[in-house]
Amino acid sequence: MAQRNIDLLSQQAQNCRACELSNSRTTVVFGSGSESPEVVVIGEAPGEAEDLTGEPFVGRSGQLLERLIGEELKKTRAEIYITNVVKCRPPKNRDPKRDEIAACHDFLLRQLELLEPHVILSVGNFATRAVLNTKKGITEIHGTTQTSELSSAPVIPTFHPAAALRGGPRVVAMMREDLSVVRGILECAT
Ligand code: URA
């Protein structure tokens, strides 16, 4: 049932013209993965590779994220669900604007209602601030258990994998620690 509903929601999003990103996008990157995931990953917005393929996190940073989730949570991409706060690529990968986040808000809310994850992983400063409605930075709150008005599931913020690609082993190690918090929640929930 969740699958049918999430497909319907995705179809609605494909026709969305609620903000100016619809003028420059190639594809709406709605989200993909399991229809009954224990974990939902929320990133910022699609980049070039995602805009061309319609799949979230398929570029270099996505590959790192997938590897870390595989190693730390023992889950494949097909077993989780991955989406973004904003479903269309901002030109030249600029930060999404406030009205663009607002235009996508109900899609994210509905996705989380349908998917009912046990835990949400918000990746990067931008997604974390949007999901938690906070001004706090990722360095301060990564790896802590947070709550969001979007879902009853706990939210664990972590670094964006692009930051880990730039920052090297130190950032990767912190992401692994953050994922171990997610693992702990899953172990308690199941
Ligand atoms: N960065 C994101 O935040 N999301 C993607 O889908 C790809 C890169």
Ligand 1 atom nearest residue 61's Cα: 8
Give the pLDDT confidence score for residue 3 in this predicted structure. Answer: 64
Which residue among 48, 55, 57 has the greatest number of ligand 1 atoms within 8 angstroms of its CB, and so is best to mutate? 57
Kind plus residue range of the DSSP H or E element containing 1: none
CA distance 53 to 50: 5
Tokens of 71: 């190693």
* Contact 151 CB / ligand 1 (< 6 Å): no
Give the pLDDT confidence score for residue 189 in this predicted structure. Answer: 83
Give the pLDDT confidence score for residue 117 in this predicted structure. Answer: 98
Give the pLDDT confidence score for residue 143 in this predicted structure. Answer: 98
Instruction: Give residue limits of the domains in the chain.
Output: 2-189
CA angle 48, 57, 141 (to 5 degrees): 115
* Contact 56 CB / ligand 1 (< 6 Å): yes
pLDDT digits (tens, 9 = 90+) for 52-61: 999 999 999 9
Q: What is the full DSSP assignment across 69-118?
A: HHHHH---GGGSEEEESSSSPPGGGPPPPHHHHHHHHHHHHHHHHHH--S
Give the pLDDT confidence score for residue 190 in this predicted structure. Answer: 67
The architecture of the domain spanning 2-189 is 3-Layer(aba) Sandwich (3.40)
Per-residue DSSP letter, 20: T
Give the pLDDT confidence score for residue 1 in this predicted structure. Answer: 54
Which residues of the chain are modeled with pLDDT < 50?
none
Give the pLDDT confidence score for residue 2 in this predicted structure. Answer: 63
Alpha-helical regions (H) of the chain: 2-14, 21-24, 48-53, 60-73, 98-115, 124-132, 138-141, 161-167, 169-189
* Contact 32 CB / ligand 1 (< 6 Å): no
* Contact 83 CB / ligand 1 (< 6 Å): no
What is the torsion angle, in degrees rounded to the nearest 10, for the CA atoms of residue 10, residue 16, residue 20 and residue 23?
A: 90
Give the pLDDT confidence score for residue 8 in this predicted structure. Answer: 94
Give the pLDDT confidence score for residue 89 in this predicted structure. Answer: 98
Ligand 1 atom nearest residue 29's Cα: 6
Instruction: Record the pTM.
Output: 0.96
